[in-house]
Chains A and B, each alone.
Chain A
Amino acid sequence: MKKAKIFAAIGGVGLAVLSIFLIAADHIDSPSVAGTTTDIADLYAFEGSNPDNTVLIATLQGPLAPGDQTNDASFDENVLLEFNIDNTGDFKEDLVIQAIKRGDSMYFFGPVAPATQGLSSTVATSGPKHKVKISTSSEVEVTDQDGMKFFAGPRRDGFFFDFNRFNKVIKGEVAPEGFLPPGEASDFFENLNVLAVSVEVPNSMLGTPPAHVGGAVGIEGLPPAYNVWVSAKRRQ
Chain B
Amino acid sequence: MRLHTILLGACSVVAFTGAASAETLTIATVNNGDMIRMQKLTDDFTAQHPDIDLEWVTLEENVLRQRVTTDIATNSGQYDVLTIGNYEVPIWAKQNWLLAIDDLPADYDAADLLPAIAGGLSVDDTLYAAPFYGESAMVMYRTDLAEKAGVSIPSKPKWVDIKKAAAAMTDKDNGIYGICLRGKAGWGENMAFLGAMSNSYGARWFDMDWKPQFDTPEWKATLTDYLELMNNYGPPGASSNGFNENLALFQQGKCGMWIDATVAASFVTDPDESKVADNVGFALFPEKGDIGNRGNWLWSWNLAIPASTQKADAAKAFVAWATSKQYTDLVAKQDGWRAAPPGTRTSLYKNADYEKAAPFAEMTLESINAVDTKKPSVQEIPYTGAQFVSIPEFQGIGTAVGQQFSSALAGNVSADQALSNAQQLTSREMMKAGYPK
Do A and B pair up? The answer is no
Question: Which positions in A face B, CB cutoff 8 Å?
Answer: none
Chain B residues in the interface with A (C-beta under 8 A): none
